Each structure stands twice: as C-alpha cells, then as structure tokens.
Structure 1
Amino acid sequence: MPVLLDLRGAKSSDVAVGTSPISELQACLHSLAEPDHHLESRPWLTGIGESMSPGLGHRLTRFAPLWARRRCRLLLPLSPPLDVDMATELDRVSRLPENDFVAAAAYAVQGGSFDPRGAVTRPGEFVAACEARSFSRGELARSLIDDPGDFRRVLVRTLEDSVDAFFAKEWERIHGRLRDEVEQTRSRLRGLPLAEVLSSVSPAARPVRDGRAVRFDKLQNLTVPLGGNPVFLVPTIHGRPHLIIRGEPGFPVVLHYPVAWRGQPPSIDEVRQRLTILSDPARLSLCRHMVNEAITTSDLARRTGMTRPQVSRHLAKLRSAGLLTSERSGRYVYHRMDVHHLMGIGVELLRVIVR
C-alpha cells in the first residue's frame, strides 16, 4: 500500500526546503509517547521524562493522541515561509480559523477512518467514534467539541511549556545539523529533476511512471497531487525513522523526512535479505562458533562437519549481508561475526516497519 506523489503539473519552484521547530517538537513529543519506536533516543527520552514536572507530564499524556499514531497537521508548518521561529509557528496555530483548527485536530484525535470534517458537521458521531477507540480519546474529543477555544489555548500553552522545559535547549543543539541538511537538499533541488529530489529523502522512495510520480513504501493507500500546490520539505532528527507525508486540502503538502544516519539506512529488501540469510540452520550454526572468537574456514569445517567449500559459500553469504569480518594473519584468514551489525538487525527491522 504505497503513498504516491503525483508530479503532473508540479515544478521545482513550488517546493520550499527549510526547518520547522514546531515539526521537530512534535517529533520529540511522539518519541516521548512512543519510546519503543526510537531506541537510539532512549537515554535522551529517559532524561526528559525524569526532569519533567508532573503537571506538564499530565498535559502531554492528555494530548498524546495528537502526536502518537498520527501526527497532527497543526504541528507541521501551516503556511510559508519556513525557517521561522517557534513563536511564529505557534501564532499561526492560534490564528487558524476555528473550523480548520477543529478538523485538523480531529484527524489525529480520532486516529482512524472518520472524516475529520465530520467533527464540525457531525460532532456527536465524531465523539462516539473516538470513544469507541479509547476512553482517553473520547474525553479529548469531547473537550475539543465542547470548547475549541479552551482546547487550543491549553494545547498552545502546553507546547510553550515544552519549549521551556526541554525543547529550546535541544533545538539549539540540533538546528545546525538540520540547516546543513536543508542546504544539501536545496542544492539537489537546483540541479536534479524533481522526482529524483523527492526520492532522495527516503530509501523507501523511488520514481515511477517515467518520473511523473514518486512512490513511497508506506502503510497507506494514498495519492497526493503536487501540481499547483506548495510543497514543503522539512528535515527532522527526532522524527526518524518515520517519514510523514501530508496533503490535506487547504494546507501545503508536507514531507517531514528523517536526516540520514551515519551511512545509508537499509531498505526493507536489504533487511529481508539479512533475515533470510540468517534463517538457514547451517549458517546459524556457523554464527554460533564465530560470535565469541575469530576462527578459520578449516576449523569451522571440522567443528560443523561441513566441507570447506560449503563453509566458504555460507561465509560469502554472511559477508554479503555485512554480518561477517575477515582478517588475514600470516597464512590464515580468521572470520568473526560483526556483533554490532548483528545486534542492529532488530533496530533496522523496527525502522523499516515503522518508517
């Protein structure tokens, strides 16, 4: 089930690349709400959780549906330009027309298939749909419908308190890295076809239809037309591994894409290949011998009862998957499992599942 960006009628001049502090704050709040999706951020998340005041923690828990499974469109850039400060982005949230605010919040609060515009036209059905999902979503939905103004004021104040409590310091730390990514993407936008630029933001993307569309491997079945619409490319550090694509009518199209890790993150096909290679019983037997010590092909053959050619073929497979290191010492070549990459398979699998 892909997300397809339809590039017919779209021009590179329609695309803006820049930073968005409110988008990065939402990514941080998602990490706090879903820490199992962000194992590499666990120490930072633990520190934030331990230092947070109980009052702010309670409000973040109350509003968590806004940034848990789905990201709230309110907390992505609402209008140009990009590269503005947090106060400007929060002011845009505060000034959004009430019906637009309610619909944008409703999409994330319900988190299912209910049409968010129904929160305005059929509020009773919207609250019931949220209650069917969970008690907390139902309570949050009711507060949105009963008093949208108070809902908005408390939400904005919660975001401001989050900035003061932890985000301002973190934004200062990561802003330079995000700016570097922005400049790199702007450079690609000036020199490459639009389909290649959009595909470059994720290993889960590729141009299709002779460059007239870009396909993203996501758990959605969605087509987003870019022609005639402003498009924002916004990099994120705390949002990785998630790639967020939003194209609601009335708002700019947003691709909130993760800054790459050191090295290119694996594609789902690469992770599948590694799991397939490791699933072979003979290779698993070899791995058990090589995980604690470096060992030669001949010794592996003797210990496992395989022939040397059989061992060599299995070692070649493990090496092709990046799971084996080999080092010559005199006449012999010693093989050992790359434990760091072996342990990373679980994290890589999680990343491609939640991307």
Structure 2
Amino acid sequence: MPVLLDLVGAESSKVSVGTSPIAELQACLHSLAEPDHHLDSRPWLVQTGQSLSRELRQRLTEFAPLWARRRCRLLLPLCAPLDASVDDEIGRVARLPDPEFIAAAAYSIQGGAFDPQQAVTRPGEFIAACESRSFSRGELARFLLDDPDDFRNSLVRTLTDCVEEFFAKEWGRVRPRLRDEAEQTRSRLSGLSLAELISSVSPAAQPVQDGRAVRFDKLQNLTVALRGNRTFLIPTIHGRPHVIIRGEPGFPVVVHYPVAWRRQPPSIDEMQQRLTILSDPSRLALCRHLVNEAITTSDLSRRTNMTRPQVSRHLSKLRSAGLLRSERSGRYVYHRIDVHDLAQIGLELLRAIVR
C-alpha cells in the first residue's frame, strides 16, 4: 500500500525547499505523544516531558489526536513562503477561514478514511466515527463542532505556550541543521529530474513509471497529484524516522522528510534479510561464541563441530548482514560480532516499520 506522487504535468518551478518551525513543532508533539516510535530521542523526550507545566501537559493530552497518529494539516505550512518564523506560521493558523480550519482539524481527529466535509454536513455521523476510535477523539470532535472559535483559540494558545516552554530553545538548536539540509536539497533542484530530486530525500522513496511518479513505502494507499500544485519539501529532525506526505485539496503538497542519518536506516527488505540470516540455528550458535571474544575460523570449527568450509560460509552471511568484524593478527584472522550493531537491529527494525 504505497503513497504515490504523480508527477505528470508537475513543474519544478512550483517545488520549494525550506524549513518550517510549525512542522518541526508538530513533529515534537508527535514524538511526545508516541515516544515508543522515537527511541533515539528518549533523553530529549524525558527531559521535555518533565519540564512541561501541568496546564500545558493537560492541553497536549486533549489535543493529542491532532498529531498522535495522523499529523494535522494545520500544523504544516499552509502557504508560501517557507522559512517563516514560528509566530508567522501560528498566525496563519489563527487566520485560516473556518471551513478550511474545521475540515483540516476534523480529518486528523477522526483519523480514518472519510470525507472531512462530513464534519459539517453530517455532524452526528462524524462524532460517532470519532467516538468509535476513542473517547478522547469523540470529546475533541464535540469541542470542534460545538465551538470552533474556542477550539481554535485554545489550539493557538497551546502552540504558543509550547513555543515559550520548550520549542523556542529547541528550534534554535535544530534550525541550523535543518537549514543546511534544505540548502543541500535545494542545490539539487537544477541538476536532477523532479522524480530523482524527490526520491533523493528518503530511502523509502523511488522513481517509478519511467520517472512519471515517485513511490513511497508507506502503510497508506494514496495518490497525490502534483500537477498545478505547489509542493514543499521540508526536512525534519524530530520527525525521524517518519516520512509524511500530505496532499489535501486547497493546500500545498508537503513532503516532510527526515534529515539523513549518519548511516541510512535499512529498508524493510534489508531488515528481513538480516533477520533471516540470524534465524539460522548454526549461525546463532556461532554468534554465542563470537559475542564474547575474537575467535579464528579453526577454533570456531572445533567448538561447534562444523567443518571449516561450513563455518566460513556462515561467517560470510553474518558479514553480509553487517554484524561481523574480522581482523588479521600475524598468521591468523580473528572474528567477532559487533555487539553495538547487533543491538541496533531492534532499533533499525522499528525505524523501518514506522517509517
């Protein structure tokens, strides 16, 4: 179930690359609401969560359906230009016409496949659909429809309080890295085709249909057409490892992509290959020896009652999975499992699954 960006008729001149503080703020709020998706950010999450005032913590819990599962379109850039201040972007949310505001909020609150216009035309069915997802979604849906102005004012105040309590400091820290990433992507605009450019921002993306589309490996079945639309490519740090693609009518298309890791996270297929390699009983037996000390092939053969050719074949597989380190000392080659890389498999599997 991929997300497909349809590039037929798309114009490179309508593609913009830049930073968005409100998008990064939403990524922070998502990671605070779903900390198990963001184990790399655990120290920051713990510190920030403990520092929040009680009132802000309560409001973040109330509004969590806006960013916990499906990120709210209100908290991505609503219009050009990019690289605006967070106050300017929050101001755009405050000034958005009611129909667009209600539809965008309703789409995230319900979090499923439905026409957000039904929030206004069939409010009873909309609230029931939200209640079927969770009590908190039902309550937030009622709040939105009973008093849209109060809902908006409370949301804007919550965002402003986030800026004051933790985000202004964090934005100052991550903005230079995001600005550098945006500049690097922007520099590729003239040298790559549109399909190559968009694919270059994420290992989860690849050009398909002879460059007429880009496919993202996501748990969605969605096609977004770029023809006639502005498209924003926006890097994120706190959004890692998620790639967010949004294409609601009336708003620019947004690709919110994580900045590159020091080492690109593996794909689902690569993780399946690693797990298959490790599932072999003979290789697991070798690993039990190799995590404790550096051992030669001959010694492994003697300890495990395997022939040297058998041991060599299994070691080659472990090396292809990126787990084995070999070092020559005199006439002998010693092998050892890299414990850090072995421990990373669980984390990398999580990244590949939630991306």
Do Structure 1 and Structure 2 share a fold, with TM-score over 0.5?
yes
**Partner secondary structure for residue 113 of structure 2:** coil
Distance 2:100 2:70 in 1: 17
Contact persistence 1:114–1:129 (CA under 8 A): no
Distance 2:258 2:120 in 1: 33
Distance 1:292 1:173 in 2: 40
Distance 1:92 1:15 in 2: 21
Aligned to 1:97: 97
Aligned to 2:339: 339
Aligned to 2:242: 242
Residue type of the alignment partner of 1:102: I
Distance 2:76 2:123 in 1: 24
Q: How many Å apart are 1:263 and its aligned residue? A: 1.7
Comparing 265-274 with 160-169, greater Cα deviation is found at 265-274
Distance 1:165 1:309 in 2: 61
Aligned to 2:47: 47
Aligned to 1:121: 121
Aligned to 1:289: 289
Alpha-carbon displacement from aligned partner over 1:45-64 (angstroms, at most 9, x marks no partner): 00011111111100000000
Distance 1:335 1:272 in 2: 24
Aligned to 1:266: 266
Q: How many Å apart are 1:114 and its aligned residue? A: 2.6
**Partner secondary structure for residue 341 of structure 1:** helix
Aligned to 2:253: 253
Residue type of the alignment partner of 1:71: R
Contact persistence 1:109–1:130 (CA under 8 A): yes
Q: How many Å apart are 1:208 and its aligned residue? A: 0.6
Alpha-carbon displacement from aligned partner over 1:263-307 (angstroms, at most 9, x marks no partner): 222122111111111011110100010011111111110111100
**Partner secondary structure for residue 63 of structure 1:** helix
Q: Is 2:192 the counterpart of 1:192?
A: yes
Aligned to 1:25: 25
**Partner secondary structure for residue 62 of structure 1:** helix
**Partner secondary structure for residue 255 of structure 1:** strand
**Partner secondary structure for residue 113 of structure 1:** coil
Aligned to 1:66: 66
Aligned to 1:107: 107
Residue type of the alignment partner of 2:201: V
Q: Is 2:146 the counterpart of 1:143?
A: no
**Partner secondary structure for residue 189 of structure 2:** helix
Distance 1:97 1:273 in 2: 50
Q: Is 2:279 the counterpart of 1:301?
A: no
Aligned to 2:202: 202
Distance 1:225 1:264 in 2: 28
TM-score, normalised relative to structure 1 = 0.99
Alpha-carbon displacement from aligned partner over 1:316-337 (angstroms, at most 9, x marks no partner): 1111111010111111111110
**Partner secondary structure for residue 139 of structure 1:** helix
Percentage of identical aligned residues: 77
Distance 1:38 1:275 in 2: 22
Distance 2:329 2:81 in 1: 59
Contact persistence 1:6–1:223 (CA under 8 A): yes
Aligned to 1:322: 322
Distance 1:150 1:335 in 2: 65
Aligned to 1:275: 275
Q: How many Å apart are 1:80 and its aligned residue? A: 0.4
Residue type of the alignment partner of 1:31: S
Contact persistence 1:109–1:140 (CA under 8 A): yes
Alpha-carbon displacement from aligned partner over 1:12-51 (angstroms, at most 9, x marks no partner): 1110000000000000000000000000000100001111
Aligned to 2:134: 134
Aligned to 2:178: 178
> Over aligned residue pairs, what C-alpha RMSD do you find?
0.7
Q: How many Å apart are 1:120 and its aligned residue? A: 1.5
Distance 2:281 2:8 in 1: 49
Residue type of the alignment partner of 1:53: S
Aligned to 1:168: 168
Distance 2:228 2:95 in 1: 25
Would you identify which runs of 4 or more consecutive aligned residues in structure 1 move more than 2 Å?
Answer: none
**Partner secondary structure for residue 16 of structure 1:** strand
Q: How many Å apart are 1:206 and its aligned residue? A: 0.7
Q: How many Å apart are 1:260 and its aligned residue? A: 1.0
Count of equivalent residues: 355
**Partner secondary structure for residue 191 of structure 1:** coil
Aligned to 1:154: 154
Distance 1:173 1:292 in 2: 40
Comparing 277-286 with 115-124, greater Cα deviation is found at 115-124
Contact persistence 1:65–1:137 (CA under 8 A): yes
Aligned to 1:15: 15
Distance 1:353 1:265 in 2: 11
> For structure 2, which runs of at least 5 residues remain unmatched after alignment?
none
